[in-house]
Amino acid sequence: MAAIRRSDTKPEIALRRALHARGLRYRKDFPIRVEGKLIRPDIVFTRRQVAIFVDGCFWHCCPEHGRKPTNNTGYWSPKLERNVERDHQQTHLLRDAGWTVIRFWEHEPLEAMQTVTLSALDDNHAAE
């Protein structure tokens, strides 16, 4: 478990680098205030209102790798469930406030993440 960190995971860094290399400028951990709550997506395009999360498979209970730990289930399960619940809540709050929200799993291929991100940026660019 020691290797799992809350932010700056490898897939997240890889995606940031790839976007940066394309000349795209984003804010990292930019706090967005929605209905009195502060939400910090991993990558934020403020002008185009695109918020990106790269969710860790363990902490966010990915259907493929998010097996709940067998030890200390009494401790972990509610904690992980709260994470998932907060993810949903944050996604809804941001969408209601007009943001395009993209949630990736950290196991998704970088290429796929890039394609989805670029397409969302294009859509929002066209809408400006």
- Could you give the 3-state DSSP secondary structure of residue 69? coil
CA distance linking residue 49 with residue 68, whole number of Å: 34
- Reading the block at residue 6, the tokens are 């809350």
| Residues sharing a CB contact under 8 Å with residue 107, sequence separation 6 or more, in sequence order | 11, 57, 62, 64, 65
Shortest reach from residue 52's CB to Zn ion, in Å: 17
Using the minimum distance from each CB to Zn ion, give the nearer residue, 64 or 111: 64
Choice between 37 and 107, CB closer to Zn ion:
107
The nearest distance, CB 106 to Zn ion, in angstroms, is 6
Q: Which secondary structure element, helix H or strand E, spans residue 118, and what is its range?
A: helix 110-126
Q: Which residues bind Zn ion (CB under 5 A)?
A: 57, 62, 64-65, 105, 107
Closest approach, Cβ 17 to Zn ion, in A, equals 21
CB nearer to Zn ion: give 25 or 65.
65
